[in-house]
A and B are shown apart, each in its own frame.
Chain A
């Protein structure tokens, strides 16, 4: 028996079968590969945003002179400047910054739930999963408000190329800039929002399994880790969406 331990140390036997070369369970490895494929999907969407943005003219004046026009790509900090209950106040990127912090904090509570799970601390897992669920639901609510504001539009609206005044946005027209700007906004933040929604569902599922004691009877809390990987990924994607859609 003592010789097997030594043999495993050798590289060629590591891949020879009978051991787990990457030292993770099947479920966790497959979650990683799923996330890799999802990362490609999100990269394709964000790079397409870059392609379409840079094939339009950029606004090249002082930021105070900026007006919405179909002629050039809008400056995001002028488009996303509304905060609930503060109608008409110019607060660029404040609300989306708040959403970023909500999602980062729910990622932190998730990592604390995983830590509690490793210690078989059922009460700790329940507590931190509840906070994580709350963060996810808060983020989705913020996004619902942001979408409805974006669709409704500003009080003034702006002039389309054919001279009509249009308020807000849909998939073919918008007051903020070239039609593709709104289409990309709906696709990219919508696809991410749907991931957050599925994440909340999965979080609720593992929370339910913790509360009913199913995970405790299984003898480990690996489900929390696997769902946690997905939840952190959703946060990771938001970091990129935040940069490329709102800051750049």
Chain B
């Protein structure tokens, strides 16, 4: 074993850590806000609730993917090759929710 070159440890990147803590705060606040919506907006406003929940979830997903997973700082080609195929998810969501309504109409 020739383990004689000393490892040079660089100092902490303060800006980066600060940014991680800021993203943590955002995620925390958004989740608390979701709880507030869940218990203040009555269940009669079903689609208002669903719209708010989905929108806030997408905001959280954006922060996790962009900052924690570092995708926001990668090359455009990598960003697109990950995000573009996810359009298929929207497609599946669209057709299966229509299908759900069709099943509901047929059964009830």
Contact = CB atoms under 8 A, between A and B. Distances in A.
A107 B92 contact: no
Contacts of A50: 93, 96-97, 100
B64 A236 contact: yes
A48 B93 CA distance: 9
Interface string A55-69: 111100001000000
A77 B41 CA distance: 13
B77 A22 contact: yes
A247 B89 CA distance: 20
B75 A22 contact: yes
Given A22-B77, A243-B54, A53 B89 contact: no
Contact of A48 (B68, B74, B96): B96
A21 B53 CA distance: 37
Interface in B54-103: 54, 56-57, 60-61, 64-65, 67-69, 74-75, 77-78, 81-82, 85-86, 88-89, 92-93, 96-97, 99-101, 103
A248 B49 contact: yes
Chain A at the B interface: SS class: helix
Instruction: Name the interface size band of chain B.
Output: 35 or more
Interface in A6-31: 21-24, 29
A54 B100 contact: yes
Interface residues of A, number: 56
Contact of A233 (B24, B69, B88, B100): B69
Given A22-B78, A115-B17, A119-B12, A93 B96 contact: no
B3 to A, nearest CB: 8
Interface in A51-99: 51-58, 63, 75, 77, 92-93, 97
B78 A24 contact: yes
11 contacts: A22-B78, A32-B78, A43-B89, A55-B100, A55-B103, A56-B104, A100-B31, A115-B17, A236-B64, A239-B64, A248-B53
Interface of A: 21-24, 29, 32, 35-36, 39-40, 43-44, 47-48, 50-58, 63, 75, 77, 92-93, 97, 100-101, 104-105, 107-108, 110-112, 115, 118-122, 216-217, 229, 232-233, 235-236, 239-240, 243, 247-248
